[in-house]
Amino acid sequence: MTKYVIRRLLGIIPTLLVIITISFFIVRVAPGGPFDGERALPEVIKKNIEAKYHFDDPLVVQYGRYMFDVLRGDLGPSYRYKDHDVNFYIFQSLPNSMILGVIAISISIIFGISSGMLAAVKQNTWVDYLGMAFAIIGISVPLFVIGPILQYIFAMRLGWFPTSGWITGDNGWITVILPAVTLSASNFGTIARLTRSSMLETLRSDYIRTAKAKGMRSSVILFKHAMKGAMLPIVSYLGPAFAGIITGSVVVEQVFRVPGLGKFFVQSSFNRDYTLIVGVVIVYSVILVFMNFIVDIVYSLLDPRITYK
Amino acid sequence: MIFKKKNNTAAINEFNQEIAGNSLTKDAWRRLRKNKMAVISLVVVIIYILLAVLAPILPIYPYDEIILDHQHLPPSFTKNAGELLMEKRLADLYTQAWRQGNLELTEEEDDMLWEWIDSNEVNKVWDYMYEKGNAMVAEGSYTLSSYEQRRIDSLEEDIRTELQITLKDVWYRADSGSERVKLTSLDTDEILAAYAQLVNISAEDQKTQYMKEIEQQVLREIKERTPDLSDEEYEILLNQEFNDMSESRLNTLIRSNVLVKLNNAIRSVGLRNLKDAAEDGTMEFPLEEEISISETISATIKASKVHERQYYLGTDYQGRDMLSRIIYGGQVSIAIGFVGTITSVLIGIILGALAGYLGGKVDYIIMRIVDIMYGLPYMLLVIIAMAIFGRNILNLFFALAIISWLTVSRMVRGQIMSLKNQEFIEAARSMGAPTRRIIFKHLVPNSLSVIIVFSTLRIPSFIMTESFLSFLGLGVQAPFASWGSLVGDGVTGMTLYPWKLFFPALVMTIFLFAMNFLGDGLRDAFDPQSKNQL
Amino acid sequence: METNETRKTLLEVKDLRTYFKTDAGVVKAVDGISFKLSQGETLGIVGESGSGKSVTNLSIMRLIQSPPGKIVGGEILFEGDDILKVPESELRSIRGNKISMIFQDPMTSLNPFLKISTQMVETILLHQDMSKKEALKKSIDMLKLVGIPAAEERIHSYPHQFSGGMRQRVMIAMALSCEAKILIADEPTTALDVTIQAQILELIQELAQKLDTAVILITHDLGVVAGLCDTVCVMYAGKIVEKANTDELYARPSHPYTDGLIKSVPRLDKAQNGKLFSIEGQPPNVIDLPPCCPFHPRCSRKMEICTKQYPPVVDLGKGHEVACWLYAENKENSTDE
């Protein structure tokens, strides 16, 4: 087991290296920024820029320096904001995004699994149809539609929630609810449908028939015999789910004005603040890669058939 | 079974039971038709596609036609723009009168209105004041002040007379004897001369003016390309640009510049001529006729009363017709969805088929690339790409296609790996069929149904991704629209103008629903074994 | 056997009908079958795949997936009570306790996510008044009984750590751990290696005798039946076409189908010019079958009436029953019905 974990951890390294490399070259070839792309800038300007950002060094040296800096945890200076470097802005906004993401993924897992199970057990009843209707809404309706509509109905019309703001503001934790629900919608839908179908399949399987033939209660069959097997596809979906949460948070933070990483990301991509964009992407990627790693470990713990070779 | 054919129409087995053919596609089609949701969805999708394709010939206003007077008109099937403007004006006047104390209401009504204002529901206030004010004027308990009457009259006048003119063709006649020709067929100098004649200034002055304007234009372009430079730096760049500029490019710049001016001049002349006609009601609108602008220039124009336009789904912040923007936006969204899916599926098929069939090193390399790319937060990479390489539809499309072939290639590879060892492939190989042929004649068609099903489910997610970017402002740029950018526009000011958010969101949601149901239906039809796997 | 009459009837199936609703129509998987099972008796049910053998036995346990399946008629009397009418809670005390079952595929019939110990102990705890410790001990004893070496340690393994034959032994141990009165073995050896098959069958026979358990053995292998069963039912297209005690059936196969089946068993002593006998054609699709003998298209002794009406069941004496027009007396009359 320990060996397996170590091997998986080592496997993360190339992915991270690729991410940093891609990031470096994207910044390097980016036209229009302070970097010279396809167009020939007059000498004067070129010299200024090169002196400022060390672009007179050979490419390999630059790449090496960049890699070294990133691995050391230094994401460089921001091209837009002169006061602080990229690290400062990221550490300022990351906690907010984390809170939002963790709550959203918890909502989608808890509600997704329970409504999926309910739908599977009550297959072809109104419970099933209702649950699946919600699921398909979550899957089909983009969150930038769900978000504003929830905002419109629950914040503006009904006044149950503040329209925007964040925990750190006056309104407290209630501000998390709408953005988190919006962000959880699509994963909720997918998890509910996955749970339902995988539960139905498990309930049709031979070993469940055996359990029934042994005279087990249906509740015992459901939770003791079927649950574990039915959860495997959901666990393996969690990787993409995290990715979805990250991408989704970009929009949700925009709609609900959450001072998180995603909002920063959009802003900086409008400002063409390349080091900040790339810094955010690296942070996101590291989170994602580690989440995938954890998901893999959980999976291998759940399924006794997996051997750690 | 032992088939005994009794006649040619239907095969019958030994129990006199009809034997139904069961080719995969036929079978799948039968199952699909049984699935009500899928059939409805298919119809919906077809309607959407037809609307998108036929958009240019549909009787709708141009999607990029800006009429600033018509900002934020609510949707209406019965009232035209003029009537809505008048309602707005009246509601506004009554509300103002109420707030200034000229129009008195009961205390309860006051409280109610203030409550609405506090909770940001200004629309309700306006609606209420409009009804109430009209009723009060009718029963005589409120009389409009002369100022208010004037405002109403002037609007009425505008509604009656304001025209919208579109130039269809501009004609040029050198002298009364000669044949008229299209102005656009003349060369630049001649157009310049014609314009100079029309506005009565010397051709020399004109030229200097143009050069200044063009300079500004080029400078703007440069600033857009490379922001954040000092003024001197810009000057250097500008000079460099002009030095590099070819004669013909300069010519085109001048030409397009003067044409715009000429058209504006003609439009204003036409407007002046027709306005009187509109006022006395001597002419029927809309009309289309040729009017003469000067001795040498005449133009075919189309004129209609601006305020007679009807907006079934309302207008946006620039007075553009939402209906037409939604249809054209759909065109963009659907096109990106379909073309993007096809491109990414093609890339995926080619790479997946190569990996699956050739195996070995090729397989290893392709699959490693796929693995690593899977680990990347690809949406974010797309956002970066859009930020860096410019926000236009083509870039968006490429960025999306490049990142979304991964799943297809994995799927095709898996399919082909399992098919590869089957006997019919062995047979083809033993008969000396070349690799390429085996892949594309045997392997790919055999995994086609899986690919079709996958692609159908892929389209909505493609559309979502596109809209997602457009929503953030990183995708399709104005004046073009896509569903995402429309929803994005709608979000600002959704309390006051909910239709701007509601309609594009609804239209998009219906389409995505339909595509998802259709995809699910297809999957169930082609592969009844797979339950509701994603 | 003669003792059949004297021993108590445990299970009686009367005119059982189990249908499945599918897109293409109603599949009459089991269409009016009846048989009796006495204490300690071993009953064989033989037929091709799709003939309704498994469905019959799943119906006895009320384990038919519904939808699409449904038991539409008949009675299943177990110790005098109709299983089809008892409430769910009472049914659970029959399942696994009085009637238990072994399934065809030992690879999928054990829960891969639970240890063998968990799966065995829960069964015993469910039906017997024991402590966990006792239940575990009993489980180990049962595993020893079915011949699992080092049962004390292996009981804590997961199913995938066992071979197919071993898993089937575990299944048998589990099925018999509550001293069931009836053991239904649904093709218990089909998924196993040939060498293991005989061992497993012997094990079943041995344990059944030891514990005085009645066995319903479902198989498509007539060879297996010959060695193990007291009585045999031959099923075809959802119906029992012939029923007799084993010796009688082999001595006097009366239905052309049974005859064909017996002839098609490869036998070293009767090798006929090196060729194996086979019944031409395939069993019919049981959807919307017209009233006729379903075997007639493949029958070498087909008559006109066979294509028009299902044959009546004829008793040939000594409990030998057959459903075939060859033995029906008043063929002409019944056509008029």
Q: What is the pLDDT of residues C221-280, one digit of tens each?
A: 887 788 888 888 988 888 888 888 888 888 888 888 888 888 877 766 665 566 677 777
Separation of alpha carbons A239 and A237, rounded Å: 5
Out of A52-56, B137-141, B147-151, B411-415, pick the least confident.
Answer: A52-56
pLDDT cut 90: percent of chain C above it: 2
Task: Return the higher-pLDDT residue of B6 and B306.
Answer: B306
Into how many domains does chain A fold?
1
C192/C198 Cα distance (integer angstroms): 10
Residue A144 to residue B488, Cβ atoms within 8 A: yes
Q: How far is A209 from chain C (nearest CA, A)?
A: 7
Domain range enclosing B496: 322-530
**Domain's final residue, options B161, B193, B226:** B161
Q: How far apart are CA A210 and CA B326, in angstroms?
A: 56
User: Is B22 an interface residue toward C (CB < 8 Å)?
Assistant: no
Q: Does B484 touch chain A (CB under 8 A)?
A: yes
Inform me whether the C-beta atom of residue B31 falls under 8 Å from chain C C-beta atoms: yes
Choose among B14, B17, B31: nearest Cβ to C288. Answer: B17
> How far is A93 from A257, CA to CA, in rounded Å?
12
Burial of A135 (0-12, 13-18, 19+ CB in 10 A): buried
Closest chain B residue by Cα to residue C282: B1
Chains in contact with B, where contact means 3 or more Cβ–Cβ distances below 8 Å, are A, C
Q: Residues B285, B309: contact at Cβ < 8 Å?
A: no
The closest alpha carbon to B518, from B455, B467, B463, B464, belongs to B455
Read off the CATH number of the domain in which A246 is found.
Answer: 1.10.3720.10
3 state DSSP class of B108:
helix
Across the interface, whether the CB atoms of A214 and C96 are under 8 A apart is answered yes
Q: Are strands C9-22 and C231-236 parallel, antiparallel or unpaired?
A: unpaired
pLDDT, averaged across chain B: 80
Whose structure tokens read 């010397």? B202
Boundary-marking domain end, from B106, B140, B161: B161
A289: closest chain B residue by CA: B375
Using CB atoms and an 8 Å cut-off, which of residues 78-107 of chain C contact chain B?
none
The answer to whether B444 and B353 have CB atoms below 8 angstroms apart is yes
Domain C9-98+180-335, second-level architecture = 3-Layer(aba) Sandwich (3.40)
Q: Does B495 touch chain A (CB under 8 A)?
A: yes
What Rg value do the Cα atoms of chain B yield, rounded? Answer: 32
Is residue A203 a part of any domain in this protein?
A: yes
**Which residues face C214 on adjacent strands?**
C182
CA B23, CA B11: separation in Å to the nearest integer?
15
C114 in A contact zone (CB under 8 Å): yes
> At B166, phi and psi to the nearest 5?
-120, 135
Extract the tokens encoding C320: 């030998």
In the block, residue with structure tokens 């054990």:
C110
Residue B309 scores a pLDDT above 90:
no
Tell whether B93 and B214 lie within a shared domain. Answer: no
Q: Which of A78-92, A115-129, C196-210 has the lowest mean pLDDT?
A: A78-92
Centre a 10 Å sphere on the Cβ of residue B139 and count the other Cβ atoms it contains.
8
Q: Compute and round to an integer the Cα radius of gyration of chain C.
A: 21
**pLDDT attached to residue B40:** 93
Give the C-alpha distances (Å, rounded to integers) separating B382 from A34, A79, B409, B475. 21, 21, 19, 10
Higher pLDDT, C251 or B379: C251
B529 touching A (Cβ < 8 Å): no
Please report the pLDDT score of residue A52 as a whole number: 62
Neighbours of A43 (CB within 10 A): 9
Best residue of A144, A191, A296 to probe chain B, by most B CBs closer than 10 Å:
A144
Report residue B8's pLDDT band, with 50, 70 and 90 as the boundaries.
very low
Are B380 and A14 an interchain contact pair (Cβ–Cβ within 8 Å)? no
A214 touches chain C (CB under 8 A): yes
DSSP-derived secondary structure for A87-108: HHHHHHHHHHHHHHHHHHHHHH
| Domain ranges, ordered by start, for chain C | 9-98+180-335
Nearest to B454 by CA among B529, B378, B363, B518: B518
Lowest mean pLDDT among B274-278, B329-333, C206-210, C299-303: B274-278
Size of interface B-C (CB pairs under 8 A): 24
Helix (H) or strand (E) segment spanning residue B503: helix B498-526
Report d(CA B3, CA B16) in Å as an integer. Answer: 10
- Partner residue facing A269 (CB), from B236, B384, B534: B384
Q: Which pairs from C129-135 meet CB under 8 Å and 24+ separation?
A: none
Mean pLDDT of A40-58: 63
Interface contact flag, A214 C105, Cβ < 8 Å: no
CB-based contact, C281 to chain B, within 8 Å: yes
B150 residue type, one letter: R
Residue B140: exposed, middle, or buried by beta-carbon count in 10 A (0-12, 13-18, 19+)? exposed
What's the rounded Cα separation, in Å, for the pair C140 and C115?
A: 13
Residue at which a domain ends, from B308, B337, B352: B308
Write down the pLDDT at residue B2.
44
Q: How far is CA A53 from the centre of its chain?
A: 32
Is C108–A205 a contact, with Cβ atoms under 8 angstroms apart? Answer: yes
Q: Measured between beta carbons, which residues in chain C are less than 8 angstroms from residue A216?
A: 92, 96, 122, 126
Domains held by chain B: number: 3
Of the partner residues B375, B513, B517, the one whose CB lies closest to the CB of residue A292: B375
Dihedral class, residue C96 (left if φ above 0, else alpha if ψ from -120 to 50, else beta)? left
Nearest Cα residue to B472 out of A286, A103, A34, A268 = A268
Q: Report how far residue A264's alpha carbon sits from residue A269's, in angstroms, rounded to the nearest whole number.
A: 8
pLDDT on residue A47:
65
| Cα–Cα distances in angstroms (integers) from residue A252 to residues A97, A181, A262, B376, in the given order | 10, 10, 8, 20
Task: Say which amino acid occupies B434.
Answer: P
Distance set, CA A193 to CA A24, A136, A200, B519, C196 (Å)? 40, 8, 11, 15, 42
Tell me the one-letter amino acid at B397: F
> Which chain A residues are closer than 8 Å to B244 by Cβ?
none
- Judge whether B356 and B443 are in contact, CB under 8 Å: yes
Least confident of A188-192, B393-397, B515-519, C329-333: C329-333
Residue B513 is assigned to a structural domain of this protein: yes
Q: Are residues B338 and B247 in the same domain?
A: no
What DSSP element (H or E) covers C218?
Answer: strand C214-219
Mean pLDDT value across residues B99-125: 83
User: Which pLDDT does position B506 carry in this prediction?
Assistant: 92
pLDDT for res A107: 94
Question: Percentage of chain B with pLDDT > 70?
Answer: 91
For residue A90, being part of any structural domain is answered with: no
Chain C residues with beta carbon closer than 8 angstroms to that of B16: 290
Q: Which residue has the higher pLDDT, B435 or C131?
A: C131
In chain B, the residue whose alpha carbon lies closest to the alpha carbon of C292 is B15
Q: Is the model's pLDDT at B390 over the cut of 60?
A: yes
Q: A212 in contact with C at a CB cutoff of 8 Å?
A: yes
pLDDT score, position C269: 66
| Strand C214-219 relative to strand C231-236, pairing | unpaired
| Substitution target from B3, B12, B14 for chain C, most C beta carbons within 10 A | B14
Q: For residue B508, name the pLDDT band (cuts at 50, 70, 90).
A: very high
> Which of B384-398, C47-61, C271-285, C298-312 bottoms out in mean pLDDT, i.e. has the lowest?
C271-285
Contact A211 C111 (CB under 8 A): yes
Spatial separation of the C-alpha atoms in residues A232 and A41, rounded to whole Å = 56
What is the rounded average pLDDT of the residues C108-137?
A: 89
Short-list C44, C34, C45, CA closest to C11 = C34
Nearest by CB to C297, from B2, B31, B34: name it: B2
Closest partner residue to C282 among B1, B17, B34, by Cβ?
B1
Give the DSSP letter of residue B12: B
- For A215, which of C97, C108, C113 is closest by C-beta distance? C97
State which amino acid sits at residue B428.
Answer: A
* Shared-domain flag, residues B383 and B506: yes
Q: Is residue A184 part of a domain?
A: yes
CB atoms within 10 A of CB C88: 9
Provide the residue count of chain B.
534
Contact A214 C123 (CB under 8 A): yes
pLDDT in tens, B16-58: 666 655 666 777 788 888 888 889 999 999 999 999 999 888 8
Place of tokens 């760049």: B237
B426 and B303 co-located in one domain: no
The reply to whether A307 falls in a domain is no
Give CA–CA dist B60/B392, Å, rounded: 25
Q: How far is B509 from chain C (nearest CA, A)?
A: 32
Task: Please give the residue that has the higher pLDDT: either B325 or A159.
Answer: B325
Chain C residues 286-315 within an 8 A CB cutoff of chain B: 287-290, 292, 294, 296-297
Q: Mutate which of C23, C280, C308 to disrupt the B interface (most B C-beta within 10 Å)?
A: C23
Pairing mode of beta strands C239-245, C231-236: antiparallel
CA separation for the pair C322, C232 (Å, rounded): 12
User: A214 to chain C: which residues are within 8 Å by CB?
Assistant: 95-96, 100, 122-123, 126, 174
Give the residue-averaged pLDDT of B499-513. 91
The alpha-carbon gap from B30 to the nearest alpha carbon of chain C, in Å, equals: 10
Q: Does B17 touch chain C (CB under 8 A)?
A: yes
Residue A229 touches partner C, C-beta closer than 8 Å: yes
A213 with C110: Cβ contact below 8 A: no
Rounded distance, CA A88 to CA B229, Å? 26
C-alpha to C-alpha distance for B181 and B190, rounded to whole angstroms = 12
Query: In angstroms, what separates the C-alpha of C71 from chain B's closest C-alpha?
Result: 25
Q: What's the number of CA atoms in the CB half-sphere (13 Å) around residue C268?
A: 0
Q: DSSP string of C101-126?
A: EE-S-HHHHS-TTS-HHHHHHHHHHH
Chains contacting C (3 or more CB pairs within 8 Å):
A, B
Within a domain: B45: no
| Two structure tokens written together for A149 | 């509509």
* CA B64 from centroid of its chain's CA atoms: 10
Which residue from B14, B31, B34 is facing C297, i.e. has the nearest CB? Answer: B14
Please give the pLDDT value at position B51.
92
Report how far apart, in Å, the C-alpha atoms of A154 and of each of A178, A251, B420 are: 8, 19, 56
Say if residue B171 is in the same domain as residue B140.
Answer: no
B434 token code pair = 């070349």
Contact in structure between C200 and C188 (CB atoms under 8 Å): yes
Q: Which of these, C11, C202, C217, lies nearest to C101 by C-alpha position?
A: C217
Under the banding of pLDDT at 50, 70 and 90, the label for residue A44 is low
CB contact under 8 A, A214 and C65: no
Of C65, C103, C158, the CB nearest to A210: C103
Give the CB-side neighbour count of residue B318, counting CA atoms within 13 A: 10
When pLDDT is cut at 50, 70 and 90, the band that residue B154 belongs to is: confident
SS3 B438: helix
Q: Both ends of chain A: CA-CA distance in Å? A: 9
Share of chain B above pLDDT 90, in %: 6
Cα–Cα dist A39/A270, whole Å: 21
CB C30 within 8 A of CB C55: yes
Question: Cβ A196–B240 below 8 Å, yes or no?
Answer: no
Question: Is the Cβ pair B464, A142 closer than 8 Å?
Answer: yes
Q: Which two tokens stand for residue C243?
A: 């029923």
What is the DSSP secondary-structure string of A162-219? -SS--TTSSSTTHHHHHHHHHHHHHHHHHHHHHHHHHHHHHHTSHHHHHHHHTT--HH
Q: Do C292 and B17 touch (CB under 8 A)?
A: no
Interface touch A197/B532, C-beta < 8 Å = yes
Select the residue of A197, A255, A292 nearest B531 (Cβ to Cβ): A197
* Whether the predicted interface score ipTM is above 0.85: no
- Residue C16: pLDDT above 70? yes
What residues have CB less than 8 Å from B317, skipping those under 6 apart? Answer: B71, B72, B489, B492, B493, B500
